[in-house]
Chains A and B, each alone.
Chain A
Amino acid sequence: MDILQILVSESFWAASLRIATPLIFGVLGALLCEKSGVLNLGIEGIFVAGAMAGWMAVWLGLGLWGGVIVAASAGAFFGLIHAILTVPLGLSQHVSGLGVTLFATSVSYFTYRTALPNVSSPPRIEPFRALDIPILSDLPILGPVLFQQTALTWLAFLCVGLVWYVMNRTALGVALKAVGDNPSSVDAQGLSVYALRMGAVIAGSALMALGGAFLTMSAFDAFFFGMVNGRGWICIALVIFASWRPGKALLGALLFGAFDALQVRLQTEVGALVPGQVFLMAPYILSIIALVIAARSADYPRALLTPWFKGQR
């Protein structure tokens, strides 16, 4: 059976992991924002900004890790805008997020076009290379799958652990979760609701931007218009699927990556029977179905979408 052959192939699992990496960053970032009570629909634009800023930093000679830092800073900047609009000003999180997406996307495209006015094929950069650790890479199956990945994939895994640890094992995490559930109780303890929420949105947005940076600095080696192509929105759906838990977020992103890698391979196998577009549609339809199923049992942050003002009940 063809599917079985695909499922045991190393290249399939390596590709799954590669497709999942930007989603892991994105879901973690969105999760962090939403845990504090702020929905961040700026994610799609922040992906574009991260991809553009990271690429441009490397192109200008700041080095790969310099690019990562620049991308995260760009994400934090757009996160700051969203945080100011939604936290102290308490504006509609939906509309502010869409505004940030439009703004971040157009700033990135404008900057790219201004820097390179008449370039038909985008200039390439030297991207992250696969980490090759001598003995571990020689392990059967696991070796090639894990050690065909670049440093950014490892960073994504590290971030999952970090976010899980902060949320479940630190006082900051307790405060963060409380601010998304019952901000008044956090205020009563003398902590600043504004600072916690804004901090979470800024940090979460920096993480999202790394997802974008992975696209230009690891997956492809150039920046294209429209390269993010809905990955940010998928992350918003995946957060609900993960019911706001970092571990399940990782699982969701990996499942999604595996499914996407599978559809590419199936498409070449049975392409004659079914139009290719059916496979392209599938991830979005699956996301919607997952959303409907998860919405029933979702353990969502109680104060999500609700602005909080000091001195008002």
Chain B
Amino acid sequence: MRIEPRTRSSRALTFGVPVLSALIALALAAVPLAFAGANVFTAYGEMARGVFGSMFAVSEMLTRATPLIFTGLAAALAFRAKLWNIGAEGQLYLGAMAAVAVGAGWIDAPGLVLIPLIILAGCAAGAAGMALPAMLKTRFGADEVVTTLLLNFVILIFLQMMLEGPLQDPMGLGWPQSSPILDQGMLPPLMERMRLHSGLIIALVCAVVAQFMLARSVWGFRLRAVGENAAAARHAGIRVNRSLMSVALVSGALAGMAGVSEVAGLKGYLTSDLSPGFGYTGIVVAMLAGLNPLGVVVSAIFIASVFVGADSMSRAMGVSSYLADLVVAMSLLCVLIGGFFARFRITRVRPGQESAA
């Protein structure tokens, strides 16, 4: 047997592989479902009903997908340049803290001024959170995987410090939560009596812009060149460190925006459980999308469906809701293997031929 790269990757493969991988992951989830003693078909029926059964269900699913689009884009862009930003979770909280700091009464301005200020502050904070690891990488060669991961813990502890200190709601009876964002600072809702908010629109715009920048701009070209072969890019006169720094800032800003969207679009105030791991799930979203910004939207919707669907299924069937995490993890592993078969073919080699390689 021999592994050789496919000379050209067909369109069907690029799009088919992630879809197939996601379906295989869902099918594999039948094993733990049966293990938990549930009827597999009823369970999947409940799951589908929980996602598509009503307007409310769809709106809940899209609400869940919104932060995942932001964190998915944050991972996808950085990973394209082979900058492994694993710190989106921390950057999300930095964005949320900045949003609350600006929006919860510090500035009393009309919404047209306040909302952009909140967004700007959140993005800047997220970008700052990624700037440090990127600088440590370009200056000192410190591996960004480890630094961004460790910073997640530092930021979470810092968040608790802020929520018990400067950011604490004086009217909150001592709970570690922030004051609420002013009414005019909240991102407007998209539908009556639903939680879906205009953060989704911002996320979609970001995805389209990211796609355009990546595919058509000089910035995107440099970024892809650095990701494919940093040495060759340097040889071709691309300032690799500058490229890495710029994508780091954009990636951090997008992750920060996820925090802004959750706190100013949905919750209204900040607590330390704002994100159930959106930063980490964003990595799965990005991989499932093949690091393609528009694909991120589709895969964020898929992952959000799994979470929302599994939630309602676990309520209906009495199965642990950790099943959703399990499906998401299996999707990632399946798409990794699928991606391999999209890029390589395995050919049989007769014994005598082996040495010819």
Contact = CB atoms under 8 A, between A and B. Distances in A.
Interface of A: 39, 41, 81, 85, 88-92, 94-96, 98-100, 102-103, 105-107, 109-110, 113-114, 117, 230, 233-234, 236-237, 240, 275, 277-278, 280-281, 284-285, 287-288, 291-292, 295-296, 309-311
B20 interface: no
B149 interface: yes
A85 B340 CA distance: 9
Main secondary structure of the interface of B (DSSP, over half): helix
B240 interface: no
Contacts of A237: 146, 150
Interface string B258-295: 00000000000000000000001001100100000000
Given A89-B340, A95-B287, A107-B326, A284 B153 contact: yes
6 contacts: A105-B325, A109-B322, A110-B326, A281-B158, A287-B150, A309-B3
Main secondary structure of the interface of A (DSSP, over half): helix
Interface string B104-116: 0000000000000
Interface residues of B, number: 47
A74 to B, nearest CB: 15
Nearest to A275: B161
B329 A240 contact: no
B237 interface: no
Contacts of B86: 94, 98
Contacts of B143: 240, 291, 295
Interface stretch (B93-101, B184-192, B242-250, B330-338): B330-338
Interface stretch (B54-62, B134-142, B205-213): B134-142
Given A85-B336, A99-B284, 4 more contacts: A94-B84, A285-B150, A287-B150, A288-B146
Contacts of B136: 288, 291-292
B140 A296 contact: yes
B153 A110 contact: no
Given A85-B336, A102-B325, A102-B332, A285 B154 contact: yes
Interface of B: 2-3, 32, 35-36, 84, 86, 136, 140-143, 145-147, 149-151, 153-154, 157-158, 160-161, 164-165, 280, 283-284, 287, 318-320, 322-323, 325-326, 328-330, 332-333, 336-337, 339-340, 357
Contact of B325 (A41, A91, A106, A240): A106
Contacts of B141: 295-296
Contact of B357 (A102, A105, A295, A311): A311
Contacts of A96: 333, 336
B337 A236 contact: no
Given A91-B340, A102-B332, A110 B158 contact: no
A99 B333 contact: yes
A156 to B, nearest CB: 22
Contact of B320 (A85, A103, A113, A296): A113
B40 to A, nearest CB: 15
B306 to A, nearest CB: 12
A264 B81 CA distance: 41
A291 B146 contact: yes
Among A105, A114, A240, max chain B CB count under 10 A is at A114
Among B3, B165, B284, B318, max chain A CB count under 10 A is at B3
Given A240-B146, A311-B2, A81 B357 contact: no
B157 A114 contact: no
A81 B333 contact: yes
A120 to B, nearest CB: 15
Nearest to B318: A117
Contacts of A85: 333, 336-337
A103 B330 contact: yes
Closest 8 A/B residue pairs (Cβ):
A113-B320, A106-B325, A102-B329, A311-B357, A103-B329, A277-B161, A110-B322, A106-B326
